[in-house]
Structure 1
């Protein structure tokens, strides 16, 4: 949370911490409907690793007769509407961080959820955050299930209080460290049935995979490989392959794309950055023969659409999102230089200039990425 207006935040905090008791009391005087709320408000990649479980939940023996609603992130609204709308009754898309200094809007959203008379609320995100813990409690639902969680997304003094909002907090065993496996474990536990999924999947149309897609950004600048290295990599690809090369991504990749286009021969690369919707981005990746990217949602999209991929990987969330577990079908080829400080949750111990990536990224050499790339482009030469 990056709080600028402490007065407004204190009012929001009051709504999140004090009003759940009032809403729970009011809920005692009504009979819960057969209605369930899923809360999932993290980033696009997290949604890719989660979305298949919406269908599983809706078709499960336990909740097949329940109306299923979703409180999600506006970042991936169009993805949800394109692929998952048929499994949901109502959807609410928000920017979760925008509520911390908006107490009245927080109260209105809470009242809207409370009015739906949910019987069950499920929050399968392991790294819980303050705002969604509050929304879960403000539903007044009889059953609220989530993870015990860590403190990466919520400070301990708030988590100690919001833990009490849940009727069940699931502990996480060490063998479920990988994010997709955490989702499998959560829904197997809640539903009481075995889920046979090894990877995310998207039913995309890919008649003939062709070309190389490159996503040069990483959400946060310091988590991304240097533009100069991407530039040299693209030049090598142009010499070794005849197929098209695409630059892909969203608003966060615009500057990366401009740098590359300015330093590449005119017409040699097609710049699709910030030119596609999220479903169109998925189609581009699905129809590509190879994706090269930093650790971003694009890597998970590639796995889900069975597109070979190379992931240039740092250590902040190492093994939580990548590399995929050994044996995963279609897993990305991850290129990294493992440092003793890995698993730092991107709280870097090194001092770097604002224009420099973290050391765990900058130490990944062009040559190492190129050697990983060569076997995957051999069929395109």
Structure 2
């Protein structure tokens, strides 16, 4: 609901006065916070602003190593100013590349002036010399205002696509940077976009980097010997395949492949989907329900040991790409090409299932991508149980052969 309102706020001419008022209030909060701080710039200090969610961070994190070893910024201390939602992932797997983490609640940062004042004041007091904001779909009050508030003399951002920002907001935000990176036109896979942005920032070639989470840093939990992970949620209802269809798939697996247990995962807020799923199963003895019980490092461990993942198109698919877990991802096509399917050079273990309109145009998804960004007109219910079962059968046969 909140995401839909934000989208409406950015696109409706009727809500323009409200959007402008919110921007103005937050800008005034930032300026007031900055005026209360006196600090000296810390030389060779770089802050990376990454305030988006899990999938965005997973796409970007591979290139942190490029920053760390670059000729231009390799001698800088690196701070990540990030969304607290990715804290456990980043601190577990990337602490060797980041010298300091600063975590914030992005919803409080956007809606609570007193919280924002404290955060901006503390950030300004750090005295960073360089700020890098690699978000392509920038948000004025998060990315642009915060980059300016650091007080860094070198402020580098990206030319945006106007998905999360109105054009007049982008024009204002552009002026808050000392340099803007042009990562090229069109819709491209997000990891490729990030590669271009980092390349433009450090001003040296950056090679394609397949995603990878080092399993040695994952947090072990008790799991069955052989199992398939089923993830039922996706954050937005239109991206969620019905629980009764997942249950039909589960019954097929339990009957045809009894050697496998089924492990349910998901955030605590997704417990409702697990409960609905279990109601459709007369026998849940082959089900291990870990919904709401796993930290992200523990989820990484579970995926590392899994034989297969079956999920909606959401953050867990990007974690699975980083653990090289064979996966079946059910998608209605939202953000096609930009976020999925994974090109072979970035993740060849993931099979995406789409409605027929997309499947029939697999040979040239770029041609239809504009019709699916940022939203898809198709229903996830167009994907049948039979197609999912057929894909499971083919993948399990391939794994066991």
Superposed pair shares fold, TM > 0.5: yes
3-state SS in 1 of match to 2:271: helix
1:190 aligns with 2:194: no
Pairs within 5 Å for 1:116-265: 116-130=126-140, 131-174=142-185, 177-205=188-216, 210-241=226-257, 242-264=259-281, 265=283
Alignment correspondent of 1:103 = 113
By how many angstroms is 1:259 displaced?
1.1
| Aligned-pair CA distance for 1:112 | 1.3
Counterpart in the other structure of 2:331: 313
Shift of 1:293: 0.8
Distance 1:115 1:246, change over 3 A: same
How far apart in 2 are the matches of 1:21 and 1:275? 41
Look up the match of 1:297: 315
Residues 261 and 320 of structure 1, relative CA distance in 2, 3 Å threshold: same
User: Post-superposition shift, 1:347?
Assistant: 4.2
Taking a change above 3 Å as real, the CA distance of residues 72 and 120 of structure 1, as seen in their structure-2 partners, is same
Distance 1:191 1:336, change over 3 A: same
Task: State the match for 1:355 in structure 2.
Answer: none
Q: Which has the higher helix share?
A: 2
Contact 1:17-1:134 at 8 Å conserved across structures: no
Counterpart-to-counterpart distance in 2, 1:203 and 1:259: 34
* Contact 1:36–1:69 (8 Å) recurs in 2: yes
Normalising by structure 2, we get a TM-score of 0.83
User: How far apart are 1:366 and its partner, in Å?
Assistant: 1.4
1:38 is aligned to 48
Q: In structure 2, what is the Cα distance between the partners aligned to 1:297 and 1:336?
A: 17
Q: List alignment gaps of at least 5 residues for structure 1.
A: 350-358
User: Cα offset for 1:294?
Assistant: 1.0
Alignment counterpart, residue 275 of structure 1, candidates 285, 293, 302: 293
CA contact (8 A) 1:211 1:290 kept: yes
335, 343, 350: which one aligns with 2:353: 335
Once residues 76 and 328 of structure 1 are traced to their aligned partners in structure 2, the CA distance between those partners, rounded to angstroms, is 21
Is residue 362 of structure 1 aligned with residue 381 of structure 2?
yes
Q: CA deviation at 1:135?
A: 0.7
Q: Following the alignment from structure 1 to structure 2, what is the Cα–Cα distance between the partners of residues 331 and 13? A: 46
**In the comparison of the two structures, how many residue pairs are matched?**
369
Match of 2:73 among 63, 66, 72: 63
Q: Tell me the secondary structure at the aligned position of residue 311 of structure 2.
A: strand
TM-score by length of 1: 0.87
Q: Which runs of 4+ in 1 moved over 4 A?
A: 1-4, 6-12, 17-24, 29-32, 205-209, 339-342, 346-349
Shift of the 369–342 alpha-carbon distance from structure 1 to 2, 3 Å rule, reads farther
Q: Secondary structure at the match of 2:329?
A: strand
Distance 2:92 2:249 in 1: 33
Instruction: Name the CA distance, whole Å, in 1 between partners of 2:100 and 2:306.
Output: 34
Contact 2:33 2:120 in 1 (8 A): no
CA contact (8 A) 1:313 1:322 kept: no
Q: Given that residues 126 and 150 in structure 1 are in contact (C-alpha distance below 8 angstroms), is that contact kept between their aligned partners in structure 2? A: yes
Q: How far does residue 122 in structure 1 lie from its aligned partner after superposition?
A: 0.8
| Aligned-pair CA distance for 1:300 | 1.2
Secondary structure of the equivalent of 2:180? strand
Q: 1:215 to 1:231 in 2, by over 3 A?
A: same
Q: Secondary structure at the match of 2:111?
A: coil
Q: Which residue of 2 aligns with 1:356?
A: none
Other structure's SS at 1:87 match: coil
Q: Please give the secondary structure, in 1, of the residue aligned with 2:175.
A: helix
In the alignment, the residues of structure 1 paired with residue 19 and residue 182 of structure 2 have an alpha-carbon distance, to the nearest angstrom, of: 34
Contact 2:51 2:83 in 1 (8 A): yes
Structure 1 residue matching 2:215: 3-state secondary structure: coil
Other structure's SS at 1:93 match: strand
Q: Distance in 1 between matches of 2:184 and 2:264?
A: 39
RMSD: 3.0
